[in-house]
Amino acid sequence: MRTRDFAGTPVGAVGLGCMGMSWAYSESERDDDASVALIREALDLGVTFLDTAQPYGDGHNEALVGRALAGRRDGAVVATKTGLVVESPATRKLVRNGTPEHVKASAEDSLRRLGTDAIDLYYLHRVDPRVPLAETWGAMAELVAEGKVRRLGLSEVSVAQAAEAHAIHPVAAVQSELSLWTRDAMGEPGGMAGTMPGDSTGTGDGPGDVVGWCAANGAAFVPFSPLGRGFLTGTLTSADFEDTDFRGGNPRFQEEALKANLRIVEVVKAVAARHGATPAQVAIAWTLAQGEHVIPIPGTKKPKYLRDNAGAAGLDLTEADLAQLDGVPAAVGGRY
């Protein structure tokens, strides 16, 4: 697989989001042994940039990644996160906690679950509006000084927040949602910076051109949900989800919105047909085309989709392709 640079370390141009192996998507399909095998296959394919977080299954996902990496830790760059706590596993309600005490305690928990002596990339999952960002980020920087964390990142922040943190300690990466139907992080209007399910404390304002800020400041930009939570693969044509799948309550996946949003998928399919590629590969390749510093992390539980996603690293979209994709209709419905 082609590689991209993360803080001086080459990683696979396409990473792997591990959340869905434990949390939020069709949880009845959870199979820990199969997920461990999938993560190990990912490493064999050159998919070496792995993403997890403490809330994903209330610690389950970190432990799963740690199990998969036993004996192979040096072959992966592992990112996890702090700053969100599962208040209710049953409802998947999350609350923010950016206190220095939580940041440091949760790092110890992550190290234990991951079975490692250092976290490669430690994100602040969401900014806690009750705690000054400088205090949270300062505590995270202390973890770097102690050798427990190698690099720091931010998730779902604005340009102003990224700049504030960067002035205290280098921001190595910013993770935000980015796909053909979610372009908030590129400075397009209509964003809800920092929002999340069950949370009303986001700014409600667009975050600004975070992708561009990362390029200008030597940080990676890490798109999560580059496949539009599976929608851009072209395999979802009806709003039929099990109770444990959060998409069942997502505005974009309600029946009328979903039907309207299929116009986006038709464009993706047309580009894919020209290249003999899959819609998923085109959607991921579009994120890759936004800059050499962009490292998308599509998630999956299935080996065939892992291989398909990895193949996007070798797909070169033309200027005509990109112009056509850039012109897709705006998504109907909010992202949360």
From the list 214, 223, 234, the residue with the least C-alpha distance to 15 is 223
* Residues 19, 242: Cα–Cα separation, whole Å: 17
Residue 291 lies in domain: 3-234+279-319
Dist. CA 34–CA 15, nearest whole Å? 18
Strand partners, 10: 5
From start to end of the chain, where are the E strands? Answer: 3-6, 9-12, 16-17, 49-51, 77-82, 84-88, 93-96, 119-124, 149-155, 173-177, 220-224
Strands 3-6 and 9-12: antiparallel
137 residue type, one letter: W
CB neighbour list of residue 101: distance below 8 Å, 6 or more residues apart: none
How many Cα atoms sit within 13 Å of 45 on the Cβ side?
A: 25
H-assigned helices in 69-222 = 100-114, 133-145, 159-166, 210-216
In the set 25, 56, 122, 305, the catalytic residue is 56
Range in 71-80, 102-111, 327-336 the model is least confident about? 327-336
pLDDT tens digits along 10-54: 999 999 999 999 987 777 788 999 999 999 999 999 999 999 999
How many structural domains comprise the chain?
1
Q: What is the mean pLDDT of residues 92-97?
A: 91
- Neighbouring residues of 18: CB distance < 8 A, sequence distance ≥ 6: 35, 39, 50, 51, 52, 56, 61, 64, 65, 299
Beta bridge partners of residue 152, listed in sequence order? 122
In a domain, 243, yes or no: no
C-beta separation of 34 from 21 below 8 A: no
**pLDDT band at 107, cuts 50/70/90?**
very high
Whether 56 sits among the annotated catalytic residues: the reply is: yes
Mean per-residue pLDDT, 95-115: 98
What pLDDT score does 91 carry? 72
Residue 193 pLDDT exceeds 50 = no
Question: Which pair of structure tokens corresponds to residue 2?
Answer: 């082609």
Q: Which amino acid is at 65?
A: V
Residue 92's pLDDT is what?
Answer: 77
The Cα 195–Cα 114 span in angstroms is 27
Q: Domain for residue 224, yes or no? A: yes
Backbone angles phi, psi at 103, to 5 degrees: -55, -45
Give yes or no for residue 197 having a pLDDT over 60.
no
The answer as to whether 67 is a domain residue is yes
Quick one: what percent of the chain has pLDDT higher than 90? 79
Q: What are the pLDDT digits (tens) for 133-181?
A: 999 999 999 999 999 999 999 999 999 999 999 999 999 999 999 999 9
Orientation of helix 279-288 relative to helix 319-326, angle to 10°: 100
Contact 68, 301 (CB under 8 A): no
CATH of the domain at 41: 3.20.20.100
Strand partners, 46: none
> Does residue 47 fall inside a structural domain?
yes
| Residue 160 counted as domain residue | yes
Query: Residues of the chain with pLDDT > 70: what percent?
Result: 95
Flag whether 26 is in a domain.
Answer: yes
Q: How, if at all, do strands 84-88 and 9-12 pair? A: unpaired
pLDDT at 205: 64
Residue 227 pLDDT > 90, yes or no?
Answer: yes
pLDDT in tens, 274-327: 999 999 999 999 999 999 999 999 999 999 999 999 999 999 999 999 999 999
Window from 76-90, 163-177, 211-225 with minimum mean pLDDT? 76-90
CB contact at 8 A, 156 and 128: no
Whether the per-residue pLDDT at 192 is higher than 50: the answer is: no
The whole-number pLDDT of residue 203 equals: 42
Average pLDDT over residues 172-193: 84
What's the pLDDT score for residue 27?
74
Is residue 291 a part of any domain in this protein?
Answer: yes
Distances from the Cα of 32 to the Cα of 60, 231, 292, angstroms: 10, 24, 33
Q: List residues bridging with 82 in a β-sheet.
A: 124
pTM score: 0.93
The mean per-residue pLDDT over the stretch 226-231 comes to 93
Average pLDDT, the chain: 92
Report yes or no on 265 lying in a domain. Answer: no
Q: What is the predicted pLDDT for the residue at 189?
A: 61
Residue pair 83/136 in contact by the 8 Å Cβ criterion: yes
Q: What is the pLDDT of residue 88?
A: 78
